Every structure is written in C-alpha cells, then in structure tokens.
Structure 1
C-alpha cells in the first residue's frame, strides 16, 4: 500500500472515532442472525461499543422490505443501520427509502472491489456461490472447473443445483465456454438464455436434488446423496472446519455477491450511524470479520490484512477470483421474474 493510501485509511479511522460519544448514545443495527451476526458482534459491535461508549442494540429481519419501508413512510424509524442485499439497495434507492452513501467519508468508491460500492449501500462482505464435492469420493482427483460440474461422462453421478435461475444460468454459460466477464452480455439476449437452458438440459436427468435452503448442500454431500452440489461457500467451510468433513470447494466460475450496510431515511441517529459505518469501513476493522466467518472483505486494503492462513478460504482470495464474476443486482432486478417463470416451466417439463 502506498503512503497516500495509508494516510487516507488512517484519517478515515480517526474521523470515525473523533467525536466523543455522548452519554446514552445508542444505535440499532439490524442484521440476519445466526453465525453471520455473531461474526459482526465480535468484529464490529463489541469493539465499537468498547472504544466509543456507544450502545448497539440489535434486531433481526428476514429481508422483507415491508417493515423497513413502513418505518420510513410513517416517520417511525427505529433501525439506524440495516444489513441488506444488493436488491434491497437498488429498490431502496429507486423508491427513496434508503439514504445515499457519502463515499468521500469511506475512502471513495475506488477503495472497494467491483460492485461493492452501491449508491445507497456499502458492502462489508463478499460471499461466493460455488460448487463443492467430497474429496474422499475422488481418490484419483476431483473436478477443478465449472465445466466439470456439467461433465457427466468424466464425473458420472448425481448432482444438486439450487432451485433458482440466479447463478444457475450463469454457471451453465460458463460451463459452456462463456468467459465470466461476458456472462451478462450473453445472458442479456434471448439466444444467450436459450444457450444456458440448452446446457442445463445436458445434466437435468443427473440433478437429483434442486435445493432451496443453504443447509441442504453440505447435508447432501455428507449423506452421499449427490456427488457434487452448488452451495454458498460459508456453508461448506463450516462443515469442514466445525464438522471435520472432507469437502472441497471448486472456486472456478464462482458468483460473488454482497451483504451491505444501509441507512433508512429518517433515522434520528444518522450521525451516529454514519460514524459506526465509517468505523467498520476501515481496513483493520473490516479484516477482523473473516476470522469469524469465511466471507471476504470488500475493501481492497482490507483483503491484504486478512491472515495468510485464512485468506485461501475466502471468496476474495486472489487465487479464487481468477475466473469469477460478480452477480449483477441490476440484471436480476430487471429479469428475475421472467427468468424464474421460464426456469420453473423448464423444471416441470
């Protein structure tokens, strides 16, 4: 990192910590619960409260926008910072119930990896949709490319895929030879959609399970029901680290996606919320979260601060991003309904 970058990141941290907390300062941060929120508690909430005296209350949500929009529309905003997905960030900006992010206070949009700095939300983590297999079932070497997931001659056996077009269609195109950087150019045309479904046709009879919940893929592998399955990287990592499974992730062709901080319009604690977000958006602080969950930082400078023994398991490790794509929130906002309808009809055939 050059000297200017170091000074910039230091100034951001100083800004986040400069104003002393007033007695009784409290903000409410809403997230998703489970291991993910536990990682936020350890990396962000606890240290921030200890360093500033600001009390952080927690709430959970399921991603349904009705409550969040209702707060803003009625002027009864009780959430100050909300962990959102890219689709929420787009909708909240378009409909006016999320604040725009001032990236001048966060080192600029260029400090983030591609796709992580959205107008109304700033990403804190990257997770990957990948595929995985049980290495114990492949004594002579397992699959290494996205094309191998679709190669039932080289690797015969049942598969499991997510019961949704998102990432499933992208994977099909990559397996068919489309470069990840061009996948949405191709999928954006009728011919490209046809090409993706034609590739899916080649393994449809070998897909034993179409999964709908994140807990299913590791269980399917553990039970030996499938030879390989698409999954979210954190689920596979957890099975390896905490359950001793011999699962292996294939990072080739992974779809990188984000979780982001956003602020509902009308929060009575906006200044305090801004300072909390700025604190989490400093490289040293952001890098902490990867010690507690296998998701990657979104700040380029934070990636460099992840311990060497952790980095290889993260979606943002340089080796794991060589042939990856960023899931396009814009594309799926425009095409999700029509492609889901076609996908469901295809499944029923």
Structure 2
C-alpha cells in the first residue's frame, strides 16, 4: 500500500469520533420543542461525535422513570424534566448525580440551572394567549381572563393544579410575590378553587402544549394559557396570536440522567455539548425560550432576545414558579384539583 495513503488512513482512524457507533436515547416533551432540540442539539452532536441519538417523547410522567431506576432496567439515558420533578427525583435517587467537571463551569449558567442532578436547558413561560383579531380589546391579565361578560366564550387552561391555582389567585387580585405564601394556607387554596368555580363551565382543559393553539385557531377558545415558545413559533408561521406577559409564570426545564443509565459518561458529554453557548443560541433561534448559559445571550440578535421570557419587559410582572412549594404541596393539591374537576 502506498505509504501516503496508509498514513492518511491511520490519521483518519485516530481522528474518528471517540464515540463512533454508540447510541444515546434522549427523551423530551416533543412538539416544536423536540424539533428545535433535534436541530440545535441532536444532529450537531451526531455530526461531531458519530453518536446516533434516539429521540423519544413523554408527558413528564415520573412513574416510568421510577420503574427504570428501581428495577435497573434503564432504557432512557437523558431525559428532560421540570424543576419540581428534578428536585424530587434527585432526592429520591431516581436521577444520577452529575460530574460537573465534564459539563462545564457552573458560573457560566444562571443559578437556577445548576444542581446536583440536572443542568438547565432553557427558561420557559406560561402566558395568557389570544387572537387580537377576534377580540374587541386586548386582555390585560388574568382578571380579564376570568371576565366572562367582557370576553364571552371558552377558556383554555392546563389540566392540573400547578399554574391553574396561581392564575386563579392572580385573577382574584393577589400580588404575585404573595402567591405561594397564600397558596400554602387552607384559606388560600379555598380562595383559588372558589375563583375557579366562577369559570369552571367555560374551561377547556389541555394536556399537551399543542392543544391550546389548535383550539385558538379553530375558535374553540377565545383565550388560553400557553407556552411562550410555541406561541412565538405559531406567530412566525403566520398566526395572529398575541401574548400578555403580565402575570406570566416561568420555570426551567433541565437535562437529567436516569439512575442506572449504562452510558452516563456519554450522556454527560451530550449535556455538556447541548449546554454550550452556540448550541443554546441555535436552540433559542429555533424556539424562543430563554437560554440557561449566559454566554448565549451575547450571540443572539436583539430582535430574538426581545421575545424571550428573560427580556426585562417580559419579566416585569412575571413570577418564577416555586419548585420547592410544589414538591411540598403538589401531591395534595393535585388530588384536590382532580376531585374538583370531576365534581
């Protein structure tokens, strides 16, 4: 064999991706979110490392993850989780502790994105959403959402206690800084359900993030709660939706590794890659959620930054979801909510 050709082949072998022929299963919440992740994270990671990403969806249910962790039969590697599930799952040993030396510098992330078992992916908001072309005036907050006389018609809300009870109290005039103090009392819980009673017959409950926008398009609801990223994506597709950021609630989604995942080191390599500023910039440009790596903001076009939950004008009257509150009270409040819905 020609020595030059042999040398080239040897170099190609040495330079081949470290994880070539490997596979990694990454599970997220699907929809536009997954499409953005495929574009910004999965395909570039495969191109760089040779690792094939098997993408799957779920609805955030922890039961399946707990079974994997308990039985040791773990088929998922990396999973996207909301803050309460991350904190609870970490304390219960459902998720692997992370080796941050493989992830990156903690100082490069917003504080809420850094934890023992998770790395924040993005910041998202639940906002009041409507079609201004179908309303005589623009709702200014959750009090207007509750005003059936001024805005007759169905409303969309996420099926569950979380967000629903907060929005009910905001509609009843509670200041957002007092939300969780009040909701931690029996008086506050009763007040929230009493407020919900006012519009119960006009509520259409959604279970997936795509539903509320489909209902707005179809005219099934006149306004709804919705995830800001999905709304902006729909706007860019030509829909005339508007968001009211006043009274919005924001939180983070995180990457976590399921306990017993056989490819933990590779999973951490993926998380590190997806957490780099350039990958986060590409993700935010695909779906407008706020990046967790502060370096990504410097790479973003100003027009993109203005549409994010992290923009100062959007944060003005917003409130962070209290993950610790929902860990402490979530089970009880979800039971009460389900009983109320089924009455």
Alignment TM-score, normalising by the size of structure 1: 0.81
For residue 280 of structure 1, the aligned residue among 242, 266, 274 is 274
Q: CA deviation at 1:153?
A: 4.7
- Tell me: CA distance 1:300–1:174, structure 2 relative to 1, closer, same or farther (3 Å): farther
- Report the secondary structure of 1:143's partner residue: coil
Q: CA deviation at 1:71?
A: 4.1
- Give runs of aligned pairs for residues 76-225 of structure 1, distance below 5 A: 76-103=73-100, 105-108=103-106, 111-113=108-110, 115-138=112-135, 141-205=137-201, 207-225=202-220
Q: CA deviation at 1:331?
A: 2.1
- Kept after mapping to 1: 8 A contact 2:25/2:75: no
- Kept after mapping to 2: 8 A contact 1:28/1:78: no
Question: Does 2:332 correspond to 1:338?
Answer: yes
- Kept after mapping to 2: 8 A contact 1:218/1:236: yes
Higher mean C-alpha deviation, range 280-289 or range 259-268 = 259-268
Tell me the equivalent position of 1:324.
318
Tell me the equivalent position of 1:226.
221
- Tell me: CA distance 1:69–1:137, structure 2 relative to 1, closer, same or farther (3 Å): closer
Tell me the equivalent position of 1:49.
46
- Report the secondary structure of 1:313's partner residue: coil
- The gaps in structure 1 that reach 5 residues or longer are 1-18
Higher mean C-alpha deviation, range 76-85 or range 120-129 = 76-85
Higher mean C-alpha deviation, range 121-130 or range 54-63 = 54-63
CA distance in structure 1 between the aligned counterparts of 2:74 and 2:213, rounded to whole angstroms: 39
CA distance in structure 2 between the aligned counterparts of 1:267 and 1:214, rounded to whole angstroms: 28
- Kept after mapping to 2: 8 A contact 1:26/1:55: yes
Alignment TM-score, normalising by the size of structure 2: 0.83
Q: How many residues align?
A: 326
- The gaps in structure 2 that reach 5 residues or longer are 1-14
- Higher Cα Rg: structure 1 or 2? 2
Cα RMSD, aligned residues only: 2.8
Deviations 1:103-159 (A, max 9, x none): 465322x543453333311110222211111110235x4112233222345444442
Tell me the equivalent position of 2:258.
264
Tell me the equivalent position of 1:307.
301
CA distance in structure 2 between the aligned counterparts of 1:260 and 1:80, rounded to whole angstroms: 14
- Tell me: CA distance 1:88–1:342, structure 2 relative to 1, closer, same or farther (3 Å): closer
Q: CA deviation at 1:274?
A: 2.2
Q: CA deviation at 1:61?
A: 4.4
- Kept after mapping to 1: 8 A contact 2:62/2:85: yes
CA distance in structure 1 between the aligned counterparts of 2:83 and 2:300, rounded to whole angstroms: 24
- Report the secondary structure of 2:333's partner residue: helix
- Kept after mapping to 1: 8 A contact 2:168/2:195: yes
- Kept after mapping to 1: 8 A contact 2:127/2:226: yes
